[in-house]
């Protein structure tokens, strides 16, 4: 038996892909996951608006929509007719509002409503290929919008991107149950990913006429949760009827309503993250 050969690491296409991911990702200064224990809390809205707010602060940003089944980033940004093309250095992110780069499997499908029917291992392979083949370029931030829960996509991304700075946990008052937040926090901690903090979405509604504050989804307990899990409560984002309205118009809320309270809260979140991660 030739001992020398058996000791050599086998170069498989997967290891080559992972190497390519490592090289490409080393050119992105801060890489942030946006995750939640449950669906429909506003992850995609927060990740797309955060990417726009960072671009507004003059950072170079690329946004990855890693929700293969429920992709909504292209709709939130009014880019559902856009396609991704390959250039000399790899697949080129589409250019979105305020110049952000946008990468989504949905932008690679022949029709946006083509269902993605990959199962577990195929899905992981698709994500790794995407990470390896996109020309992410030299960026200040990569924001990754994950599907709800703690499944295959989240795990694959965590395992293939080295140097992730951490994750934002998005939650909302009505589902601020400890179990759901705990599930996301435990998943991250077990995977060795730093919890950057909690972002509470749909926290309250402020009547534009009277200024009175209503807790439509229940009284928030973000502060208590943050204390219990020893992580900061980074932002409280109010309910704003202009958000679904902007989505219906296929225009990004952050661009249309930059001075609204929810947009300002997201901008403050962007400033905090830039201070913490880039200084
Ligand atoms: N602060 C807010 N005020 C009003 N509506 C909001 C707010 N945040 C999100 N929404 C609405 O909630 C809906 C769900 O948001 P979004 O798609 O971002 O959630 P998600 O967590 O990404 O969902 P999924 O788990 O399906 O990926 C959207 O239709 C959006 O219009
Ligand atoms: Mg989503």
Report the mean per-residue pLDDT for the chain: 90
Q: What is the third-level CATH fold of 33-278?
A: Rossmann fold (3.40.50)
pTM of the full structure: 0.93
Q: Is 33 exposed, middle or buried (CB count within 10 Å of its CB: 0-12, 13-18, 19+)? A: buried
How many whole angstroms from 276 Cα to the centroid of ligand 2? 25
Give residues whose Cβ lies within 5 Å of ion ligand 2: 43-44
**Which whole number is the average pLDDT over 32-39?**
91
Q: What is the CA radius of gyration of the chain?
A: 19
In the structure, which protein residues have their CB atom closer than 6 angstroms to any atom of ligand 1?
A: 36, 39-45, 67, 70, 72, 147-148, 201-202, 237, 239-240, 243-244, 247, 262
Give 181-235 pLDDT, tens digit per residue.
Answer: 888 999 999 999 999 999 999 999 999 899 999 998 887 678 888 998 999 999 9
Give 136-191 pLDDT, tens digit per residue.
Answer: 999 999 999 998 888 888 999 999 998 999 999 999 887 656 778 888 999 999 99
> Looking at ligand 1, which residue's alpha carbon is closest to its atom 2?
239
Residue entry with tokens 């390519």: 20
Q: Is 30 exposed, middle or buried (CB count within 10 Å of its CB: 0-12, 13-18, 19+)? A: buried
* Residue 208 phi, psi dihedral angles, 5° rounding: -65, -25
**Shortest-distance atom of ligand 1 to CA 41:** 21
Mutate to test the pocket of ligand 1, among 39, 40, 238 (most ligand atoms within 8 A of CB): 40
């Amino acid at each position: 038996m030739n001992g020398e050969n058996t000791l050599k690491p086998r170069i498989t296409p997967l290891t080559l892909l992972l190497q390519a991911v490592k090289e490409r990702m080393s050119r992105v200064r801060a890489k942030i996951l946006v995750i939640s224990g449950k669906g429909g809390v506003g992850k995609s809205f927060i990740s797309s608006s955060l990417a726009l707010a960072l671009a507004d602060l003059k950072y170079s940003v690329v946004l990855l929509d890693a929700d293969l089944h429920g992709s909504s980033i292209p709709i939130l940004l009014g880019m559902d007719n856009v396609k991704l093309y390959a250039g000399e250095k790899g697949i080129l992110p589409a250019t979105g509002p305020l110049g952000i780069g946008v990468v989504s499997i949905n932008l690679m499908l022949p029709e946006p409503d083509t269902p993605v029917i990959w199962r577990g291992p195929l899905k992981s392979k698709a994500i790794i290929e995407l990470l390896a083949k996109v020309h992410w370029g030299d960026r200040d931030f990569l924001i990754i919008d994950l599907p709800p829960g703690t499944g295959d996509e989240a795990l694959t991304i965590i395992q293939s991107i080295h140097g992730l700075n951490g994750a934002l946990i998005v939650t909302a008052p009505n589902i601020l149950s400890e179990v759901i937040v705990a599930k996301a926090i435990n998943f991250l901690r077990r995977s060795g990913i730093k919890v950057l903090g909690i972002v509470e979405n749909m926290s309250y509604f402020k009547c534009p006429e009277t200024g009175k504050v209503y807790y439509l989804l229940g009284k928030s307990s973000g502060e208590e949760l943050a204390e219990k899990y020893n992580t900061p409560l980074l932002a409280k984002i109010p309910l704003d009827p202009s958000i679904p309205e902007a989505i219906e118009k296929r225009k990004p809320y952050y661009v249309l309503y930059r001075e609204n309270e929810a947009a300002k809260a997201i901008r403050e979140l962007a400033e905090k993250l830039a201070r913490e991660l880039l200084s």
